[in-house]
Amino acid sequence: MTSQQSKITAIVGAQWGDEGKGKITDFFAGESDYVVRFHGGNNAGHTVIVDGNTFKLHLIPSGIVYGEPVSIIGNGVVVDPKALLDEIAYVKDKGINPKLMVSDRAHAIMPYHIAMDGALSGHQGDLAAGSTRRGIAPVYADKMFRNGIRMIDLLEPDVFKEKLEKGYSFSKGIIEKTLNRSLDISLNEIFDTYSDYGQKLKPYIHDTSVELYNAHKSGKSILFEGAQGISLDVDHGVYPFTTSSNTAAGHISTGTGVSFRDIDRIIGVTKAYLSRVGESPLPSEIRGEEAKMLRDKGGEYGTTTGRPRRVGWLDLVQVRQAVRVNGLTEIALTKVDILNGFVELPICVAYDVDGNRIAEMPASLTEYRKAKPIYEILPGWGDLPKNVWEKGYDAIPQTLKDYISFIEREVDCSVKIVSIGPQRHETIIR
> Residues interacting with ligand GDP, by CB under 6 A?
13, 17-23, 46-47, 334-335, 337-338, 419-422
Non-local (6+) Cβ contacts of 129 within 8 A are: 232, 240, 241, 242, 243, 278, 279, 280
| Alpha helix positions (H), 125-186 | 136-145, 157-173
Q: How far is the CB of 212 from ligand GDP (least distance, A)?
A: 23
Q: Which run of H or of E encompasses 55?
A: strand 53-57
* First and final C-alpha spacing in the chain: 10
Q: Which is nearer to ligand GDP, 17 or 148 (CB)?
A: 17
Q: Which is nearer to ligand GDP, 207 or 426 (CB)?
A: 426
DSSP 125: T
Distance CA(157)–CA(143), nearest Å, equals: 19
φ, ψ (nearest 5 deg) of residue 4: -90, 65
Distance CA(138)–CA(124), nearest Å, equals: 13
Q: How far is the CB of 421 from ligand GDP (least distance, A)?
A: 5
Q: Which is nearer to ligand GDP, 371 or 396 (CB)?
A: 396
Q: 46 an active-site residue?
A: yes
Non-local (6+) Cβ contacts of 100 within 8 A are: 60, 64, 70, 71, 72, 73, 88, 204
DSSP string, 267-283: EEEEESEEEE-SSS--T
Non-local (6+) Cβ contacts of 58 within 8 A are: 42, 43, 44, 45, 46, 83, 87
Q: Which is nearer to ligand GDP, 65 or 371 (CB)?
A: 65
Q: Which is nearer to ligand GDP, 18 or 153 (CB)?
A: 18
Catalytic-role residue among 26, 33, 39, 46: 46
Non-local (6+) Cβ contacts of 238 within 8 A are: 231, 232, 280, 281, 361, 365, 368
Are 138 and 120 in contact, with CB atoms under 8 Å apart?
yes
Q: How far is the CB of 246 from ligand GDP (least distance, A)?
A: 17
Distance CA(274)–CA(247), nearest Å, equals: 17
Ordered strands of the 265-271 beta sheet: 205-206, 100-103, 70-73, 34-37, 222-225, 8-13, 265-271, 330-334, 415-419, 427-429
Residue 45 CB: number of other CB atoms within 10 A?
Answer: 17
Q: How far is the CB of 301 from ligand GDP (least distance, A)?
A: 10
Residue 228: Cβ-neighbour burial (10 angstroms; 0-12, 13-18, 19+): buried
CB-closest chain residue to ligand GDP: 22
Q: How far is the CB of 148 from ligand GDP (least distance, A)?
A: 27
Q: Which is nearer to ligand GDP, 201 or 252 (CB)?
A: 252
Q: How far is the CB of 309 from ligand GDP (least distance, A)?
A: 10
DSSP string, 70-90: EEEE-TTBEE-HHHHHHHHHH
Q: 251 an active-site residue?
A: no
Q: Which is nearer to ligand GDP, 117 or 300 (CB)?
A: 300
Q: How far is the CB of 128 from ligand GDP (least distance, A)?
A: 20
- Which residues on adjacent β-strands are paired with residue 331? 268, 415
Q: How far is the CB of 310 from ligand GDP (least distance, A)?
A: 15
Q: Which is nearer to ligand GDP, 192 or 383 (CB)?
A: 383
Active site residues: 18, 46
